[in-house]
Amino acid sequence: MNKIGLASDHAGFELKEFVKTYVEQTGYTYKDFGAFSSESCDYPDFAHPLAEAVESGEMDLGIALCGTGNGISMTLNKHQGIRAAICWNNDISQATRTHNDANILVLPARFINPEEAKEIIHIFLNTPFEGGRHQRRIEKIPRKQ
């Protein structure tokens, strides 16, 4: 795993710029799906392309940001192959990988600082999924038609 997709809205733009630098420093490559400035914009415009890239395997994982993390997370999770998780501390970041096999980390940009984001990302990228009983639960997430 070394390809990370990034997306944000205007509220997450500044922290996303910091995240880009950190992701590069840790040896990952990234693709920025936007936003490309702090000018007001709509998070679904960037969340949907990120989700599609993770679903298709173009990106291994994703990191998404908006003010609270809620709006972009709701949009990402509309995609059947996405398990986007809002993480605001290290314990939640670890649990969402070990128990939920989250494939997109969502950061609440207005509620964490760059150092907290760095720690949360490090844990997310370096924590494996436990499988076992958790795998059974993951398999029940997609809605049967």
* Active site (catalytic) residues: 66, 99
3-state secondary structure the chain: CCEEEEEECHHHHHHHHHHHHHHHHCCCEEEECCCCCCCCCCCHHHHHHHHHHHHHCCCCEEEEEECCCHHHHHHHCCCCCCCEEECCCHHHHHHHHHCCCCCEEEEECCCCCHHHHHHHHHHHHHCCCCCCHHHHHHHCCCCCC
